[in-house]
Every structure is written in C-alpha cells, then in structure tokens.
Amino acid sequence: MVSEYLVLGAGVTGLAAGVELKESAIVLEKDSSPGGLVRSKCFDGGYWYDYVLHLLHFKDPEIQARIGSYLGEVMSPCPPVAWIQTLEGSALYPFQLNIGGLSEEARNKCIVDYAKAYYHKNGEATEKNYKGYLKATFGDAMCDLFYFPYNEKMYKYPLEGIAVDDLTWNLHRPSFEEILKGGFQPNIPRPTYNTNAFYPCPKQVDAPLRGMELLSEALAKRVRNLELNTKVESVDPTKKTIYASKDGINSSYTYETACLSTLPLPALIRLCSNAPASLLKEVDTLQHTKVISVAISVKGERPKNPGHWRYYTDPNIPFTRLIFMNEFDPQASPEDGWALLAEVTWPGKEPIPSEKELTDKVVEAVRAVGLLDDNSSIVGTHIWVIDPAYVIFTHETQRIINNCFEFLAPYGITSSGRYGNWEYSSMFQNIKAGFEWAKKVNKKSLA
C-alpha cells in the first residue's frame, strides 16, 4: 500500500497527526483499540480506571478550544487537589508552598534551609544533575523529606545520574515570602502548572465509556485511515517502507513524503534494517522505569476529601501515588463503592514481581495508611504494566537522541511523542506535537 504519509502508533500523538492529515495518511496501530497510554478499563461491574493517572491540562487556548469542541460537554474543569504524605506530616501540592502542614520542627527546618539555598549565589540553581539542582533549589530539609525520597522511589535510579534538562518545567521556585506564607497558612489551593485542567465526565450513569479514553475516542473518530491490530515488524528507511503484520498476515506500507513514528525511540531504531551497530549499542543504554498499575475496586464508604491523588515518600510503602478515580468522575464506580488506582514504579530492565505478591503488598499498605476500614470489602483487584512509563534522562540521553534523529531525518522519518522523543511530556504537549508535525509536512508537500 502506498500513501503520502504514514503514522506509526495511534496514541494521542499519532491520532492528532492522523486527524490533521485526513485521507493522505495511514495510521498503523498494533493494539485492537486506539489511544496508547490514554485508555481506560472497566472492571467488577462498573469500576472505571485510567491506565495511569491522567489529567488533561493545556497551555495553548487554541488547542484547548479544539479539543473542547471534540469532547463537547463531557470535558469538565478539574483543578487538581494532590497531597504529599511525608514522614513528618502531609502537605498540599506544591509541597514547597504548603510546608506549614508538616510538624513544627520540620516546617522550621524547611524554612531555614530554603532561605540558605534561596539567598546563595543570588538564587541561581546552576547544578547540572538533578540531585544537586533540587538541593540548590529547595535546600536540604525539603529534599530530605520529599524531593529525594520521592524521586528515588519513582526513578529507581541515582538522582546524581539524572540530568536536569527535562525536569524543571513543573518545579515552581517560590520567593522566600511565599515560602513563609505557606509555612504559616498552609494547604490553601494555589495556581500551579496544571491548574487549567480537565477530565471527561459523561452525565449518564451507564455511559458506554468513561475516563480519559474518551479523549482518544474523540480523536480516533476523526482519523480517516486507522489500521488497528497492525504491528510494525520492521522498517526499511532506504525504501521508505514499513513491514507490518495483522492477524498473522504480512503487509507493507510505503510513504511518499514523510513518516511519523511514535514508537519508543529505542524500539524504532532496532526495527530499522540499516541502523548502524554503534547506534544500536547506544539505544541499548537508554534508561526508563515501568509503572505497574494496581486497581482496587472497593465496596464501602468513600474516603472524605482524599484529593485526586496522594504522593507517598515512605520507601516501605510500595506505591508512589494513590489515585482516587471518583474524585475525577463521581460515577467512576457504583454509588456504594470507590475505585482506587495505585502506581508502583519498577526498574525498566528488571522483571516484574508476581501479581499476587505485589497486590497483597499494595492492599496491605493501603490498609496501613488508613484507607480501608473493617466495613469495606474489596470487590476485585487488577494489574497491568506500562513499559516504558518514565524516561530517565541521564547526562548521555540528549546526545543519543540527537544521533537517532540524525540517522532518521534523511529518510523523512520523524520520531515524536512521549517515547518517540524519549522525554517526560504530557498529553497536551503530544497532541500539539502531532498537529504541528502534520501541518509542517503538509506545507512542505504543497510547496
């Protein structure tokens, strides 16, 4: 089959590109439904879970309006409330603005250490490794209580080995006056990077689909040529040809002008028939973590004001976050219950533990943090793995990514999206990237 453009992968990046390119593109997706990470699951007779915590936040009014028009009235404002549980008490997110929620001693230490960091070197945090950057930005006490244990738990990688480049966009560095204010008037919601947020909430109780997958559905409906169950098996860049399999039958797709791949970058390079051995070696060194999502359907009274999600710094608690699905959509479960999603991170190259072992540990920890009482019962538990989930951006990563892009560019292949760019990015950023890539290549072909 020949088409002007080919898009590999129907996550939100590939879908956005497909929407924009109309009939001139074919989108190939290995799974039986579109959306990639942005999908939802329903279990136990009406308990809904997103694959991972998914809140849609925008920084561009044009894209917000466009997605709003696709989703219609289900797109509901959802300014998030998130709590951070430390060993010295809990604070509303962002942590640094709410340290008054901690014990008095911890709060005072956080204030003193912040002042030392803030007034050092005129407040410039110039360190190039994440650990040094966090310490120079927030001071020792906040790092010891939250930033270090949480990030170590999440990345499962030494923080000294992580580069700051990819990670500063969601770190707010307040003035010292703001820190003091939060130290004495804590836990007041304040605007952050994700305040302009939305979540799809259908009004009907028996809606056939709930959760963030509604976003993928809205995009997929607008893609003209979407081939599901079609797995890219190899790529011959010199022939601009993709070899794929569908239900055991092999087929080939040739693009005339350009190809967008949203597959994880190392996987794409491995599929390219002419990838140099040196590049293959380099992509093997790229690091990531997996996320194991553990869904727990509970029958019983819903927790009172738990927030949309809570961060847990304690290394003895297996999850990094607990996500309260009913806070996003009150109808995410039957009325007499609630849907809880635990996020467990795991080193990218290590095999995952047995389902039973992990579920038992997670349920035990949920009880230990006081969220399951004797009057509640568990209706069902379910596990799935996101791999890759979080990219680990080491000091070598950018150089390797650039080498990959340089190799692909002469063949008209662009690698984009969260894993195609091998980055930490949001749905909004990737939808925008998909639209923009399509506009750019379309202009070129008209020129």
Note the residues at the interface with ligand FAD (CB under 6 A).
Answer: 8-14, 28-31, 36-38, 52-56, 231-232, 262-263, 291, 386, 389, 417-419, 425-428, 430
Q: Return the SS3 of 412.
A: coil
> Whole-number minimum distance, CB 145 to ligand FAD, in Å?
23
- Is the Cβ–Cβ distance between 80 and 328 less than 8 Å? no
The DSSP H or E segment spanning 198 is: strand 197-200
- Angstrom CA distances, 199 to 202, 309, 394, stand at 10, 14, 33
> Whole-number minimum distance, CB 257 to ligand FAD, in Å?
20
> Whole-number minimum distance, CB 264 to ligand FAD, in Å?
7
Q: Which is nearer to ligand FAD, 35 or 182 (CB)?
A: 35
Copy the structure tokens of residue 20: 């924009």
Q: Which is nearer to ligand FAD, 17 or 441 (CB)?
A: 17
> Whole-number minimum distance, CB 332 to ligand FAD, in Å?
15
Q: Which is nearer to ligand FAD, 52 or 99 (CB)?
A: 52
Q: Which is nearer to ligand FAD, 120 or 439 (CB)?
A: 439
> Whole-number minimum distance, CB 429 to ligand FAD, in Å?
7
Q: Which is nearer to ligand FAD, 186 or 306 (CB)?
A: 306
Phi-psi region at 400: left, alpha or beta (left = phi > 0; alpha = psi -120 to 50) = alpha
Q: Which is nearer to ligand FAD, 245 or 376 (CB)?
A: 245
- Name the packing angle between helices 12-21 and 427-446 (round to 10°): 30
Positive or negative, the CA dihedral 154, 156, 159, 161 is negative
Q: Return the SS3 of 47.
A: strand
> Whole-number minimum distance, CB 131 to ligand FAD, in Å?
22
- Is the Cβ–Cβ distance between 328 and 78 less than 8 Å? yes
* DSSP codes joined into one string, 281-345: HHHTT-EEEEEEEEEEEEESPPPSS--SEEEE--TTSS-SEEEEHHHH-TTSS-TTEEEEEEEEE
> Whole-number minimum distance, CB 42 to ligand FAD, in Å?
19
> Whole-number minimum distance, CB 398 to ligand FAD, in Å?
18
- Is the Cβ–Cβ distance between 325 and 41 less than 8 Å? no
Copy the structure tokens of residue 46: 């009406």
Q: Which is nearer to ligand FAD, 428 or 435 (CB)?
A: 428
Q: Which is nearer to ligand FAD, 111 or 286 (CB)?
A: 286
